[in-house]
Structure 1
Amino acid sequence: MLSFDPESSARFHSLRALLREASPDRARELLRPLSTEVRLNVLTIIERAGLGHVGGDLSVTDILVTLYGAVLDVDPRRPLARDRDRFVLSKGHCAASLYATLAHCGFFPAAETATFAGADSALGGHPDRRKVPGVEANTGPLGHGLPIGVGCALAARLSGRHWRTFVVLGDGELQEGSNWEAAMAASHHRLNSLYAVVDRNGLQQGDRTEQTVGLEPLTARWTAFGWEVREVDGHDHAELLGAFAPAGSDRPVAVVAHTRKGQGVSFMQDRAEWHHQVPDRDQVRAAVAELTR
């Protein structure tokens, strides 16, 4: 198991304190540099490892940064605290962005991200809760994360606790029937501490979601399953913060976050081939220049 990093954790807690009283514009100002840092780390570690899912990593970054930077009640010093909020990255193939975010928050030293997908590294191509602090569930087989989230939310209710559970799903992943069984169960049990966050970039391996198995009208589908639905720009930190506010009813919350695959890098954006194409050194250099200008 990787160990806690006190210096990064101190920065994380300082940021959380600032965000607690921040206006929407100030929240954007504080979180945007963290998103850039995570994206830069993702590019570096995927190029070094020679594998990964860079397009989805870049699309989900702002969601992860907003959750960890300002929403989740978690503490890298006590990653297994009983009353912590639960976070499940159901699209586990985008582990690089999760690792970069966890490292920035101090769950483990940032230097460890250089070992991503290496022999004997704790940071595998999919997250492993037995090796990485801050990872709640081993994910990778798509469609498993939301059922796990339902279990977490039910456990909170049955034990009289008040943690919230957030599950980030890929949009192509919603073609898996297990998600909709979980959605029905969550609605039936009125699990309003559960949030399903859809990284709606419109692409999956090989093609657009609507050309593979259509998901639209996606908002209406979640509504029909009995969820409170919030539709936002998934790259706007302030809109995301509003979407992660406590439920306004006794229903679970579905956040449909509209994103772009490869966000921030022009030659990767909205292109299916970057689902798991690996950038070479020159492409990383070009991408870094775009992200930092």
Structure 2
Amino acid sequence: MGATYIGRFSPSPTGPLHAGSLVAALASWLDVRAHGGRWLVRIEDVDVPRCVPGADQVILQQLADCGLLPDEPPLYQSQRSALYQRALDDLVARGLAYPCACSRKDIEAGLQRLGRSKPRHGELVYPGTCRAGLHGQEPRAWRLRAPAGTLLWNDRRLGAQAQDVAAEVGDYVLKRADGYFAYQLAVVADDGVQGITHIVRGEDLADNTARQILLQRALHLPTPAYLHTPLVLGANGEKLSKQNGAQALDTREPLAALNAAGAVLGLQVQATTVGNWLAAATAQWAAVWGAR
């Protein structure tokens, strides 16, 4: 596979990394090293209101403490709005995206009229209210026109996956009502420009994959290979996050942090230095995932 392999870790600077974040970062780094590729770090600060000033530098230092150094300077999504606007303009010009005037309340009301509602922990499925035009209303957001039908894709760990995006999500947002670009558009545009060939990330993002593949196809971009890693769970059984009490990752003892993350990934490494730990972990990872 050689130098054609390009992977990335893409943290959002809403706070420091926690134990779950390190699992995803480590798996991404190991997969790159096992395939002799290049590892990039992208700071996903496109959702500016949620970002914490200085969190990006804390994250980069936490990664460095654990020996996870990118092969290029980090890229910041907040500096790439022109790229995302070009992608959106292209989709609009080809009739694949359209303006939407609906608020969340409008969407809920539209679903209610159709006898549908948002399931607990489920998606608020957009009912297509503005597909045929705004009827004199002002546009708030921009949406992708999701094609009907089930999209099939394969995950290196989870196996065969399927989602009917039109039915389960609806036409989804590419640019938000507050003027910020949505995660789905930004991540696909950046992966395309950076030449990302393999995406290794947490299992909680698996249900985003079909939406991203639709966008890749719409923008004539290649689809990377995907591997979604096991999640670290909080005390309430939900994915570990700042919302359910995740503590900032303590990297003063990087070997302890790496051992904990490695255990989640099924790695058992005995080492006394970070460099030796990563070398041994890379060999173990390659034995399992190198051919997949």
TM-score, length basis structure 1: 0.29
**Greater per-residue helix proportion:** 1
TM-score, length basis structure 2: 0.29
